[in-house]
Amino acid sequence: MTQPAPGSIFDTGWLRLRESADAAARSTALPERARRYLVQRQRGERCLSLVDLGCGGGSNLRFLAPRLPGPQSWHLIDHDAGLLDEALATATHLRDVSGEPIAVQSACKSLVDVEADWFTGCDLVCASALFDLVSSDWLERLAAACAASKTAVLFTLSVNGDWGFLDGDGQAQDHPSDRWVRDQLIAHQQRDKGFGIALGSHAPQALVQAFAQRGYQVESAPSPWRLSPGHADTQALGHSLIEGWAGAVHEQSPNEQQRLERWLIHRLSQLNAGALGLEVGHMDFFAYPPASDSTGDNL
């Protein structure tokens, strides 16, 4: 198996930390579109087939399974065997929208090697917080594979590069030092994460283009994190975010360490004092193929 690049490896603690923020940010309309699509597509008691790419510890599965019809059969794919074990352990308690148990299996393999036969017979391909890491060429291969299998897709929480800080009153701040950090971070996000030159904040637009070109009906919706000043969750996640951003900026501009340190100390002190909040922009995406069994007229 191809070894994952460092930029595509995520700590379990970070994934758990962000799960509540992800759940609060996600579009509710697009999972509902997916539910309607699957209901229309289903015939009799046929088990619906769903794939979760880069499933991590299973947060996407935990969010979606109770919102989608059944019977459900999930295929989880990730390169991290430990995260797959965690996802499988929590899946035993999950139920579909009707309260029935779901079936789950997993495969430990690199997403770099995505193949069309992964989606044979699949009804819905899902992924969360993945597409800023991948390249344009990889996305084209994925879109072609999905189109070949005529499967719908529900991709959530793709970063769009729009982030900033909030003061104690919840008003947006826009300091030159923040803009500098943002520019460095956007550049860093486009480094190779193991899939080729990463899309970074261009991922939402690239998703729309890749699937629309293949005749898919597409819909996007914003899904920003909104972390209010002074909340315990904001401080925990905010610390991890700000320190992570600083690490990326240091890699991108190692000769600007003093400037970066001033920014980091200032923002962390405000966060610790409960005087700083954050907004981080993401987009969610749902698309279904043409000439499918489900016309989508009632979506």
State the pLDDT confidence band at 12, using cuts at 50, 70 and 90: low
CATH among 3.30.2130.10, 3.30.530.20, 3.20.20.370, 3.40.50.150 for 6-288:
3.40.50.150
Residue 109 has pLDDT above 50, yes or no: yes
Q: What is the mean pLDDT of residues 209-228?
A: 95
**Whether the Cβ atoms of residue 285 and residue 129 lie closer than 8 Å to each other:** no
Per residue in 55-81, pLDDT tens?
999 999 999 999 999 899 999 999 999
**Whether the Cβ atoms of residue 153 and residue 285 lie closer than 8 Å to each other:** yes
Q: What is the mean pLDDT of residues 237-241?
A: 90
At position 188, the amino acid (one-letter code) is H
> Which pLDDT value is given to residue 46?
83
**Whether the Cβ atoms of residue 137 and residue 69 lie closer than 8 Å to each other:** no
- Single out the residue of 242, 238, 224, 237 nearest to residue 281, CA to CA: 224
Per residue in 118-133, pLDDT tens?
999 999 999 999 999 9
Burial class from Cβ neighbours inside 10 Å (0-12, 13-18, 19+) for residue 165 reads buried
As a whole number of angstroms, the distance between CA 61 and CA 26 comes to: 13
**Whether the Cβ atoms of residue 178 and residue 249 lie closer than 8 Å to each other:** no
- Per the prediction, the chain carries an average pLDDT of 89
pTM of the predicted structure, to 2 decimals:
0.89
**Whether the Cβ atoms of residue 234 and residue 278 lie closer than 8 Å to each other:** yes
> Which pLDDT value is given to residue 11?
60
Per residue in 146-197, pLDDT tens?
999 999 999 999 999 888 998 887 888 888 999 999 889 888 888 887 888 9
24 vs 44: which has the higher pLDDT: 24
- Computed from CA positions of residues 91, 94, 97, 102, in that sequence, does the dihedral angle turn out positive or negative? positive
